[in-house]
Amino acid sequence: MAIARNILKQVLLDNQKDIEKYKIFVRNYDLDSFPLMVFVGVRRSGKSFLLFQKIRQLLAQGHKWDEMLYLDFEDSRLDGFSSDDFYLILECHQEMYGKRPMLFLDEIQNIVGWQKFARNLADKKYSAFITGSNAKMLSKEIMAELGGRYLPVEVYPFSFKEYLSYTGVKFDELSRTATESKARFMKAYNEYFAWGGLPETINLPVKRNYLSSVFQKIYLGDIVQRNGISNPRLLQLLIKKIAESVMQPVSYTRISKILSSVAGKISVPTVSSYLQFSEDAWLLLRLRNIASAFAEKESNCKYYFIDNGLLSLQLMNSETLLLENIVALFLFRKYGHDSDNERIFFYNENVEVDFYVPEDELAIQVSYSIVDSDTLLREARALEKFPKVRPCRRRVIITYDEEKTLNDKYGAVEVIPCWKWLLDE
């Protein structure tokens, strides 16, 4: 049954009033470079606010609502909306204003068959900005179906710089030196480190409850319900195991054996599927071993969580894991991440290096502290051996809050506190 025109018109009008009330934090995304964009990322990462940011910019430039429309496909008033109703949106706007609109369509992946409508918009030269919480929207198949017309944009939770700007904490060198402003800076760093950068968590005094609700929506809605998982408990245990293994490669076979020993038999193909579903929902991001053969590259990977706050929910005494996770997120933001991800790797073959970026010939080790001499020796030795196996122009050890320079026969090894590393973003 089609959505009633009067309901759709009322939703469009209500959205106009709501968007004009939002406090907008301007993020550093180029929203003017292309008339058709697909924003993809985890729930609550700020995709909708990028749409609001663009709309408000247009309003400030003198454009009117008769030139654009916004719909959120998670609005309960649109329950029952189907692909057959898409063209009703254009008809309603035409009846209301008599003009051709620019479209802003939020969480469009909820509507089966949305790709055909999006392609048709491109063919008819509409401007359209759409968002979704499913990584499959950036897959080669979807982009091919859209005819290469849309620019894909990955949206992550706030970077550390965005977090500081949003909270009004100064982070120039002088502010990091003066006693009071340095204390505020370090407090913000500690909070971002532990609770991540999902925008709506930032001003909450107790963040865990909100993060738990977001996790449940991802876990139950975007993974369990969307994929028809019959044993949610097994999936929950798998996510917990992945969280505890953030620093280590994990194989499908090993996870299958561990879970089978505590929760009933789970096959290797099921483990593979559950991990893929978690990646599709942008909960997990995969990192491959550049030294592995193809088959092992796919089945023996490292996994990171899209936000430190969501990882914190799964762990106790997790500082070391959180440190490596936050470094991984920095690299994914900087270099991009998709299903093929051929830009960032780890290296594990005789020598173990946490991260390697071939295009910059950058090798990174992550260690919470290198005060202990054995720890320092282990990390330094790995980076000393690495130039023998891969081109390497820059070598870095990232710590929580320690800084120095080491030297060996290949030159300098930079020891950089994580907060300083994150400010380069």
Domain chopping of the chain, boundaries: 5-154, 206-317, 350-422
Average pLDDT over residues 135-157: 85
What the block records as the tokens of 139 is 């897959």
What percent of the chain shows pLDDT beyond 70?
Answer: 99
Average pLDDT over residues 360-366: 98
Sign of CA dihedral 244, 369, 414, 381: negative
Looking at the predicted structure, is the pLDDT value of residue 339 above 70?
A: no
Q: Is the pLDDT higher at 139 or at 47?
A: 47
b/e map 208-221, b = 16+ CB within 10 Å: eebbeebbebbbee
Evaluate if pTM is beyond 0.85.
Answer: yes
Looking at the predicted structure, is the pLDDT value of residue 39 above 80?
A: yes
CATH number of 5-154: 3.40.50.300
Same fold, 5-154 and 206-317: no
Q: Each residue of 256-311: pLDDT tens digit?
A: 999 999 877 899 999 999 999 999 999 999 999 999 887 778 889 999 999 999 99
Q: What does 382-408 look like in DSSP terms, one character per residue?
A: HHHHGGGTS--SEEEEEESS--EEEEE
What the block records as the tokens of 372 is 């202990």
Class level of CATH domain 206-317: mainly alpha
Which among 30, 53, 50, 31 is positioned nearest to 41, based on CA atoms? 50
